[in-house]
Amino acid sequence: MVMPTLIDRFIPQDYTNNRVFLKKSNHGFFDHQDYHVESPVNGLSTPKQLIGDALRRRVENIDHEQCAPGEEDTFFVADLGEVYRQHLRWKLNLPRVKPFYAVKCNPDPKLLELLALLGTGFDCASKAEIEQVLRMGVDPSRIIYAQPCKTNSYVRYVASQGVRQMTFDNADELRKIARLFPDAELYLRILTDDSSSLCRLSLKFGASLDSTDSLLALARELGLNVVGVSFHVGSGASDPNAFLRAVQDAHVVFQQAAAHGFDLKTLDVGGGFLSDETYEGMAGVLRAALDEYFPAHSGINLIAEPGRYYASAAFTLACNIIARRTLEGDMSAMKSVDGTMTPTSMDGNVETSYMVYMNDGLYGNFSSIMFDHQHPIAKVLRAGGCTLYDTPAAEASCGGVEYSIWGPTCDGIDRITESIRFRVTLDVGDWLYFEDMGAYTKCSATAFNGFTNEHDVIYVCSEPGARALLGM
C-alpha cells in the first residue's frame, strides 16, 4: 500500500538548490504565473515539473491488473510553494491587511502549518477547527471564531481556551455571548451585496445597515466589548465594487459605534478572493477603498479571511479510470429520451465515444461541483502506457474522441463532465488529472457508497523559502 505524505521520497534531490525569481507584471504587481525556478544542477525547472514528477512516480508504480484494493485510489499532489507565492502576492497587493486563513476551505495539516509559520491568523467556525489550529501551537489571539451563529458549548469552549475574537450579526447572539463569554472581542458582521459571487453568504449571515445601530445599542446595554466590523462579499467574488461598497458601509458602522461609545480597532474584510488573475484588480479596488476610508494614520487594524485564494491552485488531483463503456454512435443519440441508442451521428457517420468512470466523483473530491459551483477540467495524466502530464496531448481538444466522465457511485447525478474530447483513447487503468482542486474539495467529500474520502496527499515544494520554513 502506498503511504500518505511521502515528503522526502517525492522531493527530487535536483530541486534542493532552486532559486525563484519573482518578476513584476506590466501592472507593477506580482504576477504569480510569471516565475522561473532555476536549478543550478539541471538547468531550468518549474513547479509543474516538480508536480509532474510526483504524479508520474506514483502512477507509474501502480499496475491495476495486480494492485491491492485502494492502491489505485485518487490522490492529490500539493505544491506548498504555490501557497508561499500566494502569500507574497498577498503582501505585495494588500500590505496593510493581515490574512486570517479560512480553515474550512481546506484544513490540510501541511497547508495550515506553512501558513502558521508564515504568520497568518486563522478563521475558524467550529470547535474542531479551533482545536486543530491551537494544537499547532498557534496563539489564541491569532484565531477569529468567524461564525455569527455559534453553538453554546463551543462558545464555552473558546472562552476556556482564550480565543476571544468572534463575530455576531443579531440580537439573540449578543444575549448568548453576554451569558457565556461576556469578555469576548466582538465583530459586527454586516450584510453585503454578494450577487456577483459564486457562493452567496448574505442570505444567511450579516446585519443590514438599518439594524446595526440598534445592535450596537444592545451590545452597549449588555456591557459587551465590540472591537470591530466584519463583512464577506461572497465566496468567489467577481465584482470589485462589492468590496468598495462594503468598506463604505463598514465606515458608516464605525461612526455609529463611536456614537455609542465604542472605540473600534479592527476592520475585517472577509474572504471571497479568487486566486486567478482577477485578484490584482480586486485587491487594487479594496486597497484604494481602505486607503480612503481607513487610512494608515487612522490606526485601524485591517484583517481578512481568505480561503480559496490560498488553497485553490496548490492542489492537483489524479484519478484512475476504473471502467469504460463504449458507445457506438454519438453521445446526443445516446441521450435520447426513450433511451434508445442510434448508431449514427447527425452527419450520418458512425462515431465511437465512451463513458469513462473514475474512482472519484460528486460525492468525493468533486463535491465542489455541487457545493461550490465549479467546473473542473479533466486532463490526461496517463494513457496507453505514456505519461502525458503538461503536454499538448493531455489537454482537451476540438477533434478526437468524445468522452463523458462519471464518478464511481451508483447515483446518476455523479457526473463530472458531460462531454470532452481528447486526442488519445482512454481505457481502464489510465489516469486523469484536475488542476486547481485545493478549495472546497476534500473537505466536503463524503464516503457515500463506501468509496473512501481519505485520499493521500503527496507534498512537494517549489519554493526554497517555504521548504526552509517547513524543514522539508
Residues 259-298 that bind ligand PLP (CB under 6 A): 270-273
Residues 190-219 that bind ligand PLP (CB under 6 A): 201
Separation between Cα atoms, residue 426 and residue 444, nearest integer Å: 28
443 is catalytic: no
Q: Radius of gyration (Cα) for the chain, nearest Å?
A: 25
Q: Sign (positive/negative) of CA torsion 108, 109, 111, 112?
A: positive
Q: Which of 81, 121, 240, 307 binds ligand PLP (CB under 6 A)?
A: 307
Nearer to ligand PLP, 197 or 387 (CB): 197
Taking the complex as a whole, the smallest distance from the CB of residue 180 to ligand PLP amounts, in Å, to 20
Q: Is residue 58 involved in binding ligand PLP (CB under 6 A)?
A: no
Taking the complex as a whole, the smallest distance from the CB of residue 367 to ligand PLP amounts, in Å, to 15
DSSP result, 101-113:
EEGGG---HHHHH
Nearer to ligand PLP, 232 or 442 (CB): 232
E strands along 105-256, which residues? 121-124, 143-145, 165-168, 185-189, 197-199, 225-230, 235-237
Residue 255 is which amino acid? Answer: Q
Residues 89-128 that bind ligand PLP (CB under 6 A): 102, 104-105, 123
Taking the complex as a whole, the smallest distance from the CB of residue 6 to ligand PLP amounts, in Å, to 28
Cell of 374: 465549479
Nearer to ligand PLP, 77 or 201 (CB): 201
Catalytic residue among 67, 105, 199, 410: 410
Q: Which of 98, 232, 379, 467 binds ligand PLP (CB under 6 A)?
A: 232
B/e letters for 264-277, b = 16+ CB within 10 Å, e = fewer, are bebbbbbbbbbbee
Cell of 39: 536549478
Instruction: Annotate each residue in 148-187 with x if it binds ligand PLP (CB under 6 A) or - if it does not, as one string.
Output: ----------------------------------------
Taking the complex as a whole, the smallest distance from the CB of residue 387 to ligand PLP amounts, in Å, to 32
Taking the complex as a whole, the smallest distance from the CB of residue 192 to ligand PLP amounts, in Å, to 11
Nearer to ligand PLP, 116 or 146 (CB): 146
Nearer to ligand PLP, 125 or 383 (CB): 125
Beta bridge partners, 458, equal 77
Separation between Cα atoms, residue 425 and residue 328, nearest integer Å: 14
- Whether 140 contacts 134, CB under 8 Å: yes
Residue 48, SS3? Answer: helix
Q: How far is CA 288 from CA 46, 276, 296, 300, in A?
A: 34, 20, 12, 15
Taking the complex as a whole, the smallest distance from the CB of residue 238 to ligand PLP amounts, in Å, to 11
- Positions marked catalytic: 410
Residue numbers at the binding site for ligand PLP (CB under 6 A):
102, 104-105, 123, 146, 201, 232, 235-236, 270-273, 305-309
